[in-house]
Amino acid sequence: MLLALVRSVPASIAQCELTHLERLPIDLQLAARQHQQYVDALDALGCIVRKLPELPHLPDSVFVEDAAVVLDELAVITRPGAESRRDEISSVAEALGEYRALRFIEAPGTLDGGDVIVVGRRIFVGRSTRTNDEAIRQLGEITSSLGYDVQAVSFRGCLHLRSAATKLADDTVLLNPQWVSGNAFAGMKTIEIDAEEPSAANALEVGGSLLFPESYPRTLARLRARGYDIRTVDASELAKAEGALTCCSLIVSVESR
Ligand code: CIR
């Protein structure tokens, strides 16, 4: 069974961190409606959705992906690269502690979950403005005895590695080749996004199906032509906060405890 941890859009979302985007007005009610559609889609894909406590004063708290890296054996609670986001982690740790043993990234390490792609026993970690080499080293130390291989990945043009690439299946990643080289994922098949849709590389894989933003029809058609089972949602309002689909949930397999 899959559990999806989510958190509501906070009233303070307009004060969110922004790195690559110009600040645009965010319609809080529209963002909340779109978030509810996202939750409904997760439910339709068979997830049990669990809502974390609301954190109205933490502007980026809807982006729960950044607070943890969930593996079958344990969960690593991150130390987010943006100081404004550090108070988001305690409630995520509390919830995940019911399902997994917890380990923690310690200072001076900083890590955002959005920089981490787990494929089988391989963990790809983007070096970014949020994730440093010390945290990548700590993640390796925590996971190597479990048989995981942590590989640092360089990328550019976007905030997190998962904006440049995401896992579609255990042997396949979707990527924007302008932002990350396919060589980083040696041994795996790669599918490139349509060049006119640079932000289209963030798909959320849930139980063999994909959740994908309706705003990238060209890449969507490309994925459908490859036979993927895809459900679309409109995530345009949270995209103004530099958040994509994977950012808004932590998917936890609860049989594997
Ligand atoms: C931030 O800058 O931290 C947020 N405004 C967006 C975080 C998006 N999370 C993600 O890509 N994993």
Using alpha carbons only, give the angle 116, 117, 119 rounded to the nearest 5 degrees: 145
Considering only CA atoms, which of 138, 69, 75, 67 is closest in space to residue 101? 75
Per-chain mean pLDDT for the chain = 97
Distance CA 6, CA 39 (A): 8
Residue 137 has pLDDT above 70, yes or no: yes
Distance CA 2, CA 249 (A): 12
The confidence score (pLDDT) of residue 84 equals 98
Coil, helix or strand for 119?
A: strand
Q: Check which CATH number belongs to the domain holding 97 and give it.
A: 3.75.10.10
Q: Is the CB of 16 under 6 A from ligand 1?
A: yes
Residue 164 has pLDDT above 50, yes or no: yes
Mean pLDDT, residues 148-153? 98
Domain membership of residue 31 as a residue range: 2-253
pLDDT in tens, 21-38: 999 999 999 999 999 999
Q: Which residues contact 141 (CB under 8 A, 6 or more apart)?
A: none
Residue 233 has pLDDT above 70, yes or no: yes
Q: Which candidate in 16, 47, 158, 247 is catalytic? A: 247
Site to probe by mutation for ligand 1, drawn from 58, 60, 180 as the one with most ligand atoms within 8 Å of Cβ, is 60
Residue 256 has pLDDT above 80, yes or no: no
Which pLDDT band, with edges at 50, 70 and 90, does 232 fall under?
Answer: very high
The confidence score (pLDDT) of residue 257 equals 45
Report how many domains make up the chain: 1
Residues 124, 149: contact at Cβ < 8 Å? no
Asked about 20 being catalytic, the answer comes back as no
Q: What pTM does this model have? A: 0.97
> Rounded to the nearest whole angstrom, what is the distance from the C-alpha of residue 45 to the centroid of ligand 1?
24
Which pLDDT band, with edges at 50, 70 and 90, does 255 fall under?
Answer: confident
Amino acid in position 83: E
| Inter-CA distances, 89 with 4, 69, 114, Å | 16, 12, 14
Asked about 160 being catalytic, the answer comes back as yes
**DSSP summary character for residue 114:** G
Mean pLDDT, residues 55-81? 98
